[in-house]
Copies of this chain bind each other. A is one copy, B any other.
Amino acid sequence: MTTRVGIREVAKAAGVSVTTVSHALNDATSFRVKAATQQLVRDVARDLGYAPNKMASGLRNQRSQILGLVSDEITTTPFAGAMIRGAQDAAYDRGYVVMVVNSGLDSELENREINMLRQHQVDGVVYARMYHQSVQVPAELEGLPTVLLDAVTNDRSISSVIPDEVGAAETAVEAIIQAGHSRIGMINNMDDIPATHGRREGFLNALRRHGLKHDPRHFVIGQAGTPGGREAGLGLLCQPDRPTALFCFSDRVAMGVYQAATALGLRIPEDVSIVGIDNLEIIADALWPGLTTVALPHYEMGRWAVNRILDDIENPGVPAAQTQLDCPLIERGSLGPPPS
C-alpha cells in the first residue's frame, strides 16, 4: 500500500507551495493563481491520483459534507431502499454523502445513534419514517438542520415532505370512474394515521365530484395487511349488489382482495376491478393480472428531503415548509370496465 498522497506531495511535484495547490484546486477563492499554474497543478494532482482528505478539510471549514439519515424500520419493505437511494443520489449530485442509521423502535438507541452522527459532525439530518405518520423529533436533533421524510410534526418549524395522500386517492378513484364504474367500494386501514384519513378524504372527494353516492356498506375498515384485505374483500364481494370496483388502502390489502376474489370465483378485472396504493412492485407486478396502483414517491421524497436540507445549509433562514409530492397512477391490468 503506497503512502497516501497529500497536498504537500502535489505541491512538491508541481514545484509550488501548498497554498498555491489549494487555491488552484478550489478555484472559488478569487484569482490568486495564474491560469497556467492552475492547469499545471491540476494535471499533476490528477497524475498523482490526489484526492483531498475530507476529514482534514472538514475540520478546517467546520463542514463535513456528510448527511445523516435516521429511519425507523428499513427491513420490511423495499420503500426504505427507494428513499435511501433518492437521498443518496441527491446528496451525491451536490458533493455530499449519506450516513444511514436505523434503530427500529428503540428510541434510546435512536438517541445514541443520533449522537454518533453528531460526533461525526454531520451537516444535517433527514429524519425518515417508512409509513407516513406524525412524529415528535427527538431533542437530540436540536440545533441540527433537520428535514422530515414521510412524516410530519406539530412543530411547523421543521420542513417535511410527505406524499399527497388525498391526491393519491383521488387519482385512483378518478381512474376507476373514468373506466366507467359507479358502484365503487373502498377498503381502508383502521390505524389512526394521516394516510388513513387522507385516502378516505380523497375517495370521498372523487365520488362527490362526479355526483356519485357513497354507499356506506361498500366502505369497510380492516387490518392493513393482506389477511385484512382478504377478509374485507370476502365480506364486500359476496354481497349481491357488490361494488364493481374496489379501491384498496394499499397493495398488500389489494393482494388480499385478489385472494378473496379468486376464492369467490370472480375474475379480475372482468368481474371486479381493483386499484391499490403503493406501487410495491414486488407485489403489484407479481399479481395476476398486474395490479393497477398509485405510486408513493419514495425515491422523490428522498431526493427532495436532501435537496431541501442542503438548501437550508447553504442558505439558512428560509422558513420551513411542508411539502406534498404527487403520486402518479401506474397502470397494469386490474382496472377494466364494469361488467355489463
Contact = CB atoms under 8 A, between A and B. Distances in A.
Interface of A: 1-2, 51-56, 58-59, 64-66, 74-78, 80-82, 84-85, 88, 92, 97-102, 113, 115-121, 143, 225-226, 230, 252, 255-256, 259, 262, 280-283, 285-286, 288, 299
The 7 closest A-B pairs by CB, nearest first: A226-B286, A74-B81, A75-B81, A1-B143, A75-B82, A80-B81, A54-B119
Contact of A2 (B53, B59, B120, B143): B143
A80 B77 CA distance: 10
B286 A225 contact: yes
A186 B29 CA distance: 66
Contact of A98 (B56, B99, B256): B99
A87 to B, nearest CB: 9
Nearest to A144: B1
Contacts of A119: 51-54
22 contacts: A53-B59, A55-B55, A55-B64, A55-B120, A55-B121, A56-B59, A66-B120, A75-B81, A75-B82, A75-B299, A76-B81, A77-B78, A81-B81, A84-B84, A84-B102, A88-B102, A97-B116, A97-B117, A252-B282, A252-B286, A262-B262, A282-B283
A76 B78 contact: yes
Nearest to A98: B100
Nearest to A298: B75
Nearest to A230: B288
Contacts of A80: 78, 80-81
A237 B99 CA distance: 49
Given A76-B81, A119-B51, A259-B288, A280 B283 contact: no
A296 to B, nearest CB: 13
A55 B58 contact: yes
A255 B99 CA distance: 35
Contacts of A113: 92
Contacts of A143: 1-2
B281 A76 contact: yes
Nearest to A262: B262
